[in-house]
Amino acid sequence: MTPESDLTVKVIGAMMGTGKTTHIHKWLNQQSTAIDSFIYVTPTLDEIQRVKEACPDLNFVDPFPKDGSKLNSLNQYISESRNIATTHSLFTTAN
Tell me the per-residue pLDDT of 61-90, one tens digit each, with 9 for 90 and over: 999 988 889 999 999 999 999 999 999 999
**Which residue from 7, 69, 56, 65 is spatially nearest to 28, judged by alpha carbons?**
56
Q: How far apart are CA 70 and CA 84, in angstroms?
A: 12
Average pLDDT, the chain: 88
**pLDDT in the model for residue 4:** 59
